[in-house]
């Protein structure tokens, strides 16, 4: 009975699975070479597919970026509780976690810039980062707050946004290094005056 139900194990056709995988590999390669703003056609060419195939699998560019970096975002998010347990203090844990976040951002051409972009196409990227990482940051920040190590009243979203902003352009301007500025921001967070 019923119509065709062409399905592989996960419900998609085999060629679709191949295309998606090829696209992810291609995107990762092109992002390294040209940044996350690389032309859609470049990614399609690298993957050996048409541009239509990209839009079918990843309706917005953010979806593609999210998929490419999902594992690393996940790893960063999951590292939070561990740092809180192992570090000498909640504030230290927060510092170390933000170090991880900064490491992630500055090694991806233009990712930090895309993150803050008001471009609607990147809204989903922004949303994913916020949903996954802000709660982790909030946990660390709360712990540091309770231990009295940081000034109160700082919002986790704003802090992450500030750190992310400081990382913008760190990969394309030799005169600018984001880490000292992030260090200043965190030092200011600790100061009670």
Partner DNA sequence: AAGCATACGGAACAGTGTTCCGGTTAGCAA
Partner DNA sequence: TTGCTAACCGGAACACTGTTCCGTATGCTT
105 makes contact with a second copy (CB under 8 A): no
**Residue 112 Cβ vs DNA, minimum distance, rounded to whole Å:** 18
Tell me whether residue 17 is exposed, middle or buried, using C-beta atoms within 10 angstroms of its C-beta: 0 to 12, 13 to 18, 19 or more.
middle
Look-up: residue for tokens 């810039």? Answer: 113
Give CA–CA dist 67/40, Å, rounded.
Answer: 15
Give CA–CA dist 14/22, Å, rounded.
Answer: 12
**Identity of the residue, 19 or 163, whose beta carbon is nearer to DNA in the bound complex:** 19
95 makes contact with a second copy (CB under 8 A): no
- In the Cβ-directed half-sphere of 18, how many Cα atoms lie within 13 Å? 5
Show the binding pattern over residues 8-27: x = contacts DNA (CB under 7 A), - = does not: x---xxxxx-xxx-------
106 and 167 in contact (C-beta within 8 Å)? yes
Using alpha carbons, select from 1, 2, 150, 130 the residue that is nearest to residue 66. 130
Among 40, 67, 100, 185, binds DNA (CB under 7 A): 40
Show the binding pattern over residues 47-86: x = contacts DNA (CB under 7 A), - = does not: -xxxxxx-xxx-xxx-------------------------
> Residue numbers of the site for a second copy (CB under 8 A)?
110, 113, 116, 118, 154, 157-159, 161-162, 165-166, 168-169, 172-173, 175-178, 180-181, 183-191, 193
């Amino acid at each position: 009975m019923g119509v065709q139900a062409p399905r592989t194990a996960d419900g998609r056709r085999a060629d679709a699975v191949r295309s998606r995988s090829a696209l992810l590999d291609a995107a990762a390669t092109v992002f390294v070479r040209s940044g996350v703003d690389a032309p859609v056609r470049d990614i399609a060419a690298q993957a050996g597919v048409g541009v239509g195939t990209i839009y079918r699998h990843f309706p917005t560019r953010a979806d593609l970026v999210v998929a490419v970096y999902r594992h690393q975002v996940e790893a960063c998010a999951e590292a939070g509780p561990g740092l809180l347990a192992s570090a000498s203090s909640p504030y230290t844990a927060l510092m170390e976690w933000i170090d991880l976040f900064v490491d992630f951002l500055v090694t991806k051409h233009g990712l930090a810039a895309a993150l803050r972009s008001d471009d609607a196409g990147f809204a989903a990227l922004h949303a994913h980062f916020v949903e996954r990482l802000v709660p982790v940051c909030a946990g660390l920040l709360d712990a540091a707050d309770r231990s009295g190590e940081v000034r109160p009243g700082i919002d986790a979203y704003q802090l992450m946004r500030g750190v992310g902003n400081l990382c913008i352009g760190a990969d394309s301007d030799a005169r600018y290094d984001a880490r000292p500025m992030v260090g200043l921001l965190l030092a200011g967070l600790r100061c009670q005056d």
